[in-house]
Amino acid sequence: MPQWTLFENDFRSIDQVLNELLAKTNALSAHLVDRSGQLITTAGRTGDFDTTAFASLVAAEFTANAELAMLLGDTEIEAVVSEGPQRSVYSCMLAERVIMCTVFDRRSTLGLVRYRANRASRELDKVFRALFQKVGLVEPAAPSEAFAAAAGQELDALFGE
């Protein structure tokens, strides 16, 4: 996966959205992890676990669940939930490259976290898509079949065929 960097304005926007998510859900922490398992940023309480290992495991878990979904006939997954007796994790994908994880305990509910995380993910998706466009990580869109057919006809006309 190509390397990329956050710009200061993007980081401020991301940090604001993550902190708002924590405040509105009473969650413990929120993390952004790239698909390769690298931790991008964290908000909230994280002193009681290894965030580097967490990031690697979250990426592996999301990938494994995506493969499982494909095996069962789905083309993609929207979220991965890991429920534990003390803490749970709700993870969702942003801009097809970044996983947002919200760690919460019994002071919150999965429904509230899911609702608020989905709202936050829509905002962050825009930020990351714009960022990827700025740094040139956006793959060019494949031309539509109609455009390709029209271009082919124009080339045929140009060369007299």
CB atoms within 10 A of CB 42: 19
For residue 152, give the CATH number of its domain.
Answer: 3.30.450.30
Q: How confident is the model at residue 159, as a pLDDT?
A: 60
| Among candidate residues 70, 66, 94, the one with its CA nearest the CA of residue 80 | 66
Copy the structure tokens of residue 120.
């936050």
Largest CA distance in the chain: 73
HSE-up of residue 15 (Cα within 13 Å, Cβ side): 8
- What is the domain extent for residue 107? 8-158
Q: What is the pTM of this model?
A: 0.77
Please tell me whether residue 75 adopts helix, strand or coil conformation.
Answer: coil
Q: How confident is the model at residue 46, as a pLDDT?
A: 83
Copy the structure tokens of residue 99.
């996983």
Q: How confident is the model at residue 48, as a pLDDT?
A: 87
* Residue 47 falls inside a structural domain: yes
What's the structural domain count of the chain?
1
Please tell me whether residue 103 adopts helix, strand or coil conformation.
Answer: strand
Alpha-carbon gap, residue 69 to 49, rounded angstroms: 29
Q: Dump pLDDT digits (tens) for 47-85.
A: 888 999 999 999 999 999 989 999 999 888 889 999 999
* Residue 2 falls inside a structural domain: no
Q: Dump pLDDT digits (tens) for 105-152.
A: 999 999 999 999 999 999 998 888 888 777 666 554 444 455 455 555
Angle 69-115-47 from CA coordinates, rounded to 5°:
85
* Residue 3 falls inside a structural domain: no
* Residue 83 falls inside a structural domain: yes
Q: How confident is the model at residue 157, as a pLDDT?
A: 62
